[in-house]
Structure 1
């Protein structure tokens, strides 16, 4: 966690934003409120991050200073070297909660867009009858993160699955050799906010957790295990130090 935290702190400082403590919400209820960032692009300039619950649903919410979802990566024409833009909620939850191996890394919920490849083979997000051509449509994932110097000093990756390994994986794992799940929970964008409603069998586990908010770009590497998916640009960290100060509202 220390190397992960240092990466995100440096990115947050370079964005020169003024953060506020959780609880001082600047007009938003609960969660983590954050001052606008002078150098952060408005669609990724986090001003409020929240996880709340209603019945068996966990509601992941993020608001930015501009229009959420307005910016997506340019299509490059090939998967290797292509970009992924993301809204991310790192959590204190054990990856086993959603079907990965226990203690495999940092479990995060993410809303992503990447027009050069599709990683939701069970779902047809754009409604054209083809489930393999809609990676550019905003969609959701669970991912497990770890720091890896192969991505850069103190940089992060989505955890790779070594060749021949057979780890525990969620039923909706999309077949990529990384710890990623494609559960099909559709994000809703309204003006400055993005929100996703995620059902849980045991909502109490979520209610006991902590969280943070991050906006970032990732890059797909040409070689499968170099690693495959690296975080290459952190736009903003809600707390400023990835201390996971957010308490789930319930």
Structure 2
């Protein structure tokens, strides 16, 4: 079902990848084992993935992605209200179980995401723009852990951020922002440098990275017009590094 949804929304196009110069050796595009993706001629270049890569040094894991355009150079246009509010995202789906970062165990895809959404703020512990107000930073790119799951209420074969049912109280990470979703606001700062977006993530001791696999995705989501479950649906997939969300990347 997941691959069917991705395949239905993925915008195809197969020109060759253009390699960057040697001064960009830190980019995902130039890492051994990176998931490489051909350029697309018909999507916003700021969401056109050339490569996604994840690597580990001790307990710090670096997630990065090289884009054809400028990472973070496009943000969604504000809707002026929470209902129907757009969200755009750089996404690293992983094979890690949700409990790796403090969620209740269960099914679903644990993904690290960097998001922008001008109509609301979901990082109540952080003041990303340093203006003294922690509740007005939604447009600034920031990180989340989310659990994605199939949700037919979002459309046939669609995905959403997993909802928390009314009355339920599943285990959530300490930095859960209080929304009725499987979402965490851990405060890892996305670094935007030209075509590259990078997020350095720390894991608790004892979390095993053994056999972890990953992919890279750029996508759009939208808050339900009823502001009720399903609260946050995936409505468009701009690009998938592997082409089929097979999570072919492995972490060394």
Match runs of 1:173-184 below 5 Å: 173-184=176-187
- Tell me the equivalent position of 1:148: 151
- Tell me the equivalent position of 1:29: 32
Instruction: Call closer, same or farther: CA 1:77–1:33 in 2, change over 3 Å.
Output: same
- Counterparts of 1:26 and 1:193, CA distance in 2: 9
CA positional deviation for 1:11: 2.4
Which stretch has the larger CA shift, 126-135 or 100-109?
A: 100-109
Instruction: Call closer, same or farther: CA 1:26–1:60 in 2, change over 3 Å.
Output: closer
- Tell me the equivalent position of 2:48: 45
TM-score normalized with structure 1 length: 0.92
Q: Please provide the CA RMSD for this pair.
A: 1.7
- Counterparts of 2:42 and 2:49, CA distance in 1: 12
Q: 1:81 aligns with which of 66, 78, 84?
A: 84
Q: How many residues align?
A: 242
- Counterparts of 1:6 and 1:162, CA distance in 2: 26
Q: 1:15 aligns with which of 12, 16, 22?
A: 12
Q: 1:6 aligns with which of 4, 19, 25?
A: 4
Does the 8 Å CA contact 2:161/2:182 hold for their aligned counterparts?
Answer: yes
TM-score normalized with structure 2 length: 0.91
CA positional deviation for 1:152: 1.0
- Tell me the equivalent position of 1:103: 106
- Tell me the equivalent position of 2:160: 157
Per-residue Cα deviation, 1:103-148 (whole angstroms, up to 9, x for no partner): 2311000000000000000000010010000000000000001111
Partner secondary structure for residue 205 of structure 1: coil
Ranges in structure 2 where 5+ consecutive residues have no aligned partner = 18-27
CA positional deviation for 1:178: 0.5
Partner secondary structure for residue 69 of structure 1: coil
